Chain A
């Protein structure tokens, strides 16, 4: 198991968003987190990468346990070095070119020599099919291209797991396809991914596990095939029915 979360709790003021969530991710897993808006999916992902601080819970990464309520800056730094994050609205560095976006974390945070970083960066951009856009600024790229640069940026640092927070929600259907196809390639290469998504096709066909959340708890966690074909919980069945009607 590469990542395990146990009993994670998070409140914003009086609003309890995560009410004790458990999650397990094995090496090579592609886990889709599904659920209606406001179910806590994004908050869960952000807590796991410390963009939000959970009030309680345990996290085991690579066999190393951490207490989420009293995690130190140093531990956060160490964990972030092994993970990467892809945002819904890309969050590319606006003052950097596509290539610089990809190399920044290598050169600044990991002190990789520049020539080597550029080489890694170019490979990462080639992987997402954007070698010819290396010198473009984010403002000169389409949403789909920006998100692919963001995926290249995530890949460049050689993470053990990549977190995706609704990576296609800001894109129109045409551009969604190009991003999903990059993600499918990664999955086939065995990249471990934890993906908050509304893309049922991706959850069904690419991911091997599905976690269904509602109201801050996990309602059902199952292998994708099982989840879609024989859901155990009544709530899951309702959700799937609603989706299929759309």
Chain B
């Protein structure tokens, strides 16, 4: 009922002279050009407190991840065994870990690995899922059947199990260096999650395919790649992007879970999950080693889930 077009249609007979103006002309007389889905969503988002809070937290985290030295001057790898497991104090806000390293500095330097994994896993999942989804949705028939069946196979694997098996392979392959380890974790998350993005994109593409503009483009002799990229993609992107934003938070949690199990990231890529995993055996004597990285992890996931919720509500007209 709050939809402006239905409200305008309801009052149209009472408008006298303007009743003779047809609907499209009526719209043109509004201020400026008609707003697109994206600018509409953006105007909506800017007014939401949830979005502003989540956005501020994410920007702060991004700054911490890119410039950790702005936030601490302590070397996160400096070990001083005389401080081992010391509780928080003025000198070290979050205390020291088992090997006498400053937990605050390690949390600050860990932000980049956590965010890197979350962001790249989300991007890769959306890319793979959107690619296969749009192809399955546009071409249909046996291509759709094949892609959907393959998706079901990966979907049938419980996430943690699949990730353990895949990452175990990687561990046996003796991969060293921070970036290859990050890539292995990102790839295993994406391999297990793409069917969800694929299904979302596929159903959006099937709906969009039956629209008149696609039929018109095909009648004008446009090639399949042109129709897919020029017409389908811009119109199918919104739902899969919403999924990507919400999944980002979930993937950060997934990375922490995998690292916690000892198969995710490891030295030198020390994420919050790795810190929690290192602290798990000392929960009883030194809970601060676990609670500070866990708190940061929760706040980060919370920010991304809130952002995803806000974006979904802004982009989904049904929820308005």
Do chains A and B interact in one complex? no
